[in-house]
């Protein structure tokens, strides 16, 4: 890990596309001071790469489990990964 940062690859399933999930995720990540990205997947899931202090990453995982008001999250899986390729900001990837 770079500079004591934690990094996670996250997959969120359920009703998570077409409900403002990516924009909501970016806003929440920015509030928490996280960097990374979020994108829609062809199978209807949303995936994200989140990097930041451990406590902020854990808070973000909890928030992803709730999602924005129109979402219906069925599951969140997170896998630790290397933070070396962390972007400078949080972006929506198309």
Residues with a known catalytic role: 22, 40
What is the phi/psi pair of residue 27, to 5°? -60, -45
> Can you tell me whether residue 5 is helix, strand or coil?
coil
Task: Render the burial of 2-41: b for 16+ CB within 10 Å, e for the rest.
Answer: eeebbbbebbbbbebbebebbebbbebbeebebbbbbebe
């Amino acid at each position: 890990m770079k500079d004591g940062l934690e990094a996670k690859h996250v997959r969120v399933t359920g009703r998570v596309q077409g409900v403002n999930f990516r924009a909501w995720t970016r806003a929440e990540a920015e509030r928490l001071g996280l960097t990374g990205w979020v994108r829609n997947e062809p199978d209807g899931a949303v995936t994200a790469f989140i990097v930041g202090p451990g406590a902020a990453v854990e808070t973000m995982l909890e928030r992803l489990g709730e999602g924005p008001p129109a979402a219906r999250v069925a599951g969140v899986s997170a896998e630790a990964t290397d933070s070396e390729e962390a972007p400078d900001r949080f972006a929506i990837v198309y």
